Amino acid sequence: MKRTIQEGRAAHARPRRVKAGGAVGTLAAALTIAGVVAAPSAMAATRHAPSITTITWWASPISTSGPDLRQTLINAFAKQNPNIHVKLETAPTNTDTNRADLVTTISGGAKTPDVFMGDVIWPGQFGAHALALPLSKYLPKSFFNRFASGLVAGASYKGQVYGAPFFQDQGFLYYRKDLLAADHMSVPKTWEQLRSEAATLVKQHKVKYGFVFEGQSYEGGTCDFMEYYADTGGQVLNSTDTKSVLNVGKVTKVLSFVRSLVTSGASPAAVSTFEEPQAMAAFQNGEAAFLRNWDYAWSVANTKGMKSAGKVGVAPLPTFAGQPYPGYSNIGGWNLYINPHSRNIKADLTFIKFITGTEAQTIEARPPFSEIPTNAAVRANPKIKALNPPFAVLSKTKLVPRPAQNPNYPRISQAIYSNFNSAIAGSKSPSAAANAMASQLKAALSSSTGL
């Protein structure tokens, strides 16, 4: 690595000799030894030493086990940018808590964190309330050409790009190959088949749980709901993201099905409390036959020492009987945003350029991290595609976004996930939960755009 001019000068600065004779020389030497007067070489080094800019990166843990991708990327960045120090601050893993913390912090005028890792669903709200810097005003259009198709549009609000795509997520079906083979079962292509196979394996005491997923009342529930709902052909908002077109009949079908997962024994009653970590833990510990989770689950499930290691298969998500296979997968993932109050925007942009560049994106795509890169060149690399079975499934999946371009998305999502959870838990009937979802969605859209 080439040194900077300043580093080269500092490295080659030589101390000047102090005359041994004479009062001035003796006094100067004495003061230098005492530390009162700095030696000329020290002053030169101080004068030419590169200044260090510290930026704070607020980011959630990206996986539940193994090396820390965040710190690995910070270390790689530091090698190329010795004048910028990145301080990592760990954000909550719960997306809603994370968002609430950032909204409070940034709306209060805080200058840190400088850069924050945020959900792909945040541009509408964060852009509408000036909680993120419009990156497209600071970076040339050519910068955004590095990203895979569709990701920049999802990171935009009213013509401005607010997030730099960091890594993509989407839902996959993970299954225990050994359990299916032993019972001569095929990988389910319909939700009904999955329910039947999961319930059978539980009843035969082959496994504790059949199918585990994210059923808690939080953002993850909206992700799961959107997959089921898209399989019915349903939409949440109109083309301008301003009005509800929720179909209560189709929602009732979805909620009836997820409740039947519990009542049939295919899923545990506790699934209504599961977020990603709980569902992942049940699968990697050998307690579940099927798992709906994001792409990172492959590397976690196959980590040495896990009971699931070496026994895992991955496939696109199923769909409802009578619908074309495969089913829909929700678009997830995380962007990098800049705090509009940051005092280090130049350094922030340098960090974002590196993290979305080929070196960093290759690091995140390779094991043990195995995240779906957003950089189109890395994503198209055959060597990268061959590294991870979920990458091979990408081209076979159909994607569905969440209705996040409306600034009231947090309330929209709450209307979805709270009723999705109520139906799973049995605290509301599927039809009652569907009607409540429709009513709350309309209320969210008609309310003022608030935090």
Sorting pLDDT into bands at 50, 70 and 90, what band is 96? confident
d(CA 174, CA 290): 6
Same domain, yes or no, for 318 and 412? Answer: yes
- What would the mean pLDDT of 185-207 be, rounded to a whole number? 98
What local confidence, expressed as pLDDT, does residue 218 receive? Answer: 94
d(CA 149, CA 237): 22
Same domain, yes or no, for 288 and 202? Answer: yes
Q: What is the CATH number of the domain that holds 417?
A: 3.40.190.10
Q: Which residues contact 141 (CB under 8 A, 6 or more apart)?
A: none
Ramachandran angles phi, psi of 13, nearest 5°? -70, 130
Same domain, yes or no, for 315 and 431? Answer: yes
Whether residue 414 has pLDDT greater than 60:
yes
Same domain, yes or no, for 177 and 321? Answer: yes
Same domain, yes or no, for 253 and 151? Answer: no
Sign of CA dihedral 382, 388, 391, 396: positive
d(CA 418, CA 433): 9
What local confidence, expressed as pLDDT, does residue 5 receive? Answer: 37
Tell me, yes or no, whether 347 lies in a domain: yes
Where b means 16+ CB within 10 Å and e means fewer, 125-139 reads: bbbbeebbbbbbeee
Same domain, yes or no, for 305 and 362? Answer: no
d(CA 339, CA 176): 43
Tell me, yes or no, whether 39 lies in a domain: no
d(CA 135, CA 337): 8
389 vs 426, more confident: 426
Contact 337, 163 (CB under 8 A): yes
Same domain, yes or no, for 243 and 375? Answer: no
What local confidence, expressed as pLDDT, does residue 30 receive? Answer: 37
Number of domains the chain is built from:
2
Q: Residue 274 half-sphere exposure, CB side, CA atoms within 13 Å?
A: 26
d(CA 121, CA 319): 24
Q: Residue 289 half-sphere exposure, CB side, CA atoms within 13 Å?
A: 33
- What would the mean pLDDT of 417-425 be, rounded to a whole number? 98
Q: Is the pTM of this model over 0.75?
A: yes
Write out pLDDT tens, residues 79-95.
999 999 999 999 998 88
322 vs 148, more confident: 322
d(CA 146, CA 380): 12
Ramachandran angles phi, psi of 227, nearest 5°? -65, -50
d(CA 317, CA 223): 13
d(CA 332, CA 315): 17
Q: Residue 2 half-sphere exposure, CB side, CA atoms within 13 Å?
A: 2
Tell me, yes or no, whether 13 lies in a domain: no
Tell me, yes or no, whether 30 lies in a domain: no
89 Rama sector, left if φ>0, alpha if ψ -120 to 50, beta otherwise? beta
Sorting pLDDT into bands at 50, 70 and 90, what band is 385? confident
Per-chain mean pLDDT for the chain: 89
Give the lowest-confidence range in 23-32, 64-73, 294-303.
23-32
Same domain, yes or no, for 194 and 69? Answer: no
- What would the mean pLDDT of 41-57 be, rounded to a whole number? 71
What local confidence, expressed as pLDDT, does residue 7 receive? Answer: 34
Tell me, yes or no, whether 298 lies in a domain: yes
Tell me, yes or no, whether 201 lies in a domain: yes
Write out pLDDT tens, residues 330-344.
988 999 999 999 999
Tell me, yes or no, whether 108 lies in a domain: yes
Q: Report CA 60 to chain centroid distance, whole Å.
A: 8
The H-assigned helical ranges of 121-267 are: 123-128, 151-154, 177-182, 191-203, 219-231, 248-263
What local confidence, expressed as pLDDT, does residue 449 receive? Answer: 62
Strands, DSSP E only, in 47-180? 53-59, 84-90, 115-119, 156-157, 160-161, 164-170, 172-176
Whether residue 29 has pLDDT greater than 80:
no
Same domain, yes or no, for 208 and 233? Answer: yes
Same domain, yes or no, for 210 and 107? Answer: no
Sorting pLDDT into bands at 50, 70 and 90, what band is 39? very low
Same domain, yes or no, for 147 and 183? Answer: no
Give the lowest-confidence range in 28-32, 187-191, 230-234, 405-409.
28-32
What local confidence, expressed as pLDDT, does residue 397 receive? Answer: 86
DSSP for residue 208: S
pLDDT > 70: percent of the chain: 88
Whether residue 28 has pLDDT greater than 50:
no
Tell me, yes or no, whether 258 lies in a domain: yes
Whether residue 107 has pLDDT greater than 90:
yes
Same domain, yes or no, for 256 and 121? Answer: no
For residue 104, what are the domain limits?
Answer: 53-169+332-400
Whether residue 43 has pLDDT greater than 70:
no
Judged by DSSP in three states, 104 sits in helix
